[in-house]
Amino acid sequence: MVNGVKPGTFPIEAIDDFRTPGITLLMPLPGAEDCGAAFEAMVETAMVIVRHMGGELKDENQSVMTAQTVEFARQRVQEFVRRNRLHRYQVN
């Protein structure tokens, strides 16, 4: 998670008074052992933040995410995992 304002960090020493217009949740691929589960956890975390703090969930293009765009992102992660497995299989 990074702050939406440069330099992207959070002032831990003054976090009680901290305000920001946005945060970004990142999930590098490949990364987690189970990328699908990591994606689901990230989306769930983002939804909890939106619910409790207000705001909007947006994608990498700053478009508001709908159930349809979340599903599209989920499919992109699944496709990445599939291609990564295929590549590892072909190399070995």
Which pairs from 20-29 meet CB under 8 Å and 24+ separation?
Answer: 22/55, 23/49, 25/1, 26/1, 26/2, 29/77, 29/80, 29/84
Q: Which residues have C-beta within 8 Å of that of residue 11, sequence separation ≥ 6?
A: 18
The 10s digit of each residue's pLDDT in 43-87 is 999 999 999 988 999 998 999 999 999 999 999 999 999 998 887
- What is the per-residue pLDDT for 33? 85
Write down the pTM of the prediction.
Answer: 0.80
State the Cα–Cα distance between residues 61 and 69, nearest whole angstrom: 11
Is the peptide bond prior to 30 cis by the omega test (within 30 degrees of 0)?
Answer: yes
Domain spans, the chain: 63-92
- The closest of 28, 31, 35 to 2, measured between CA atoms, is 28
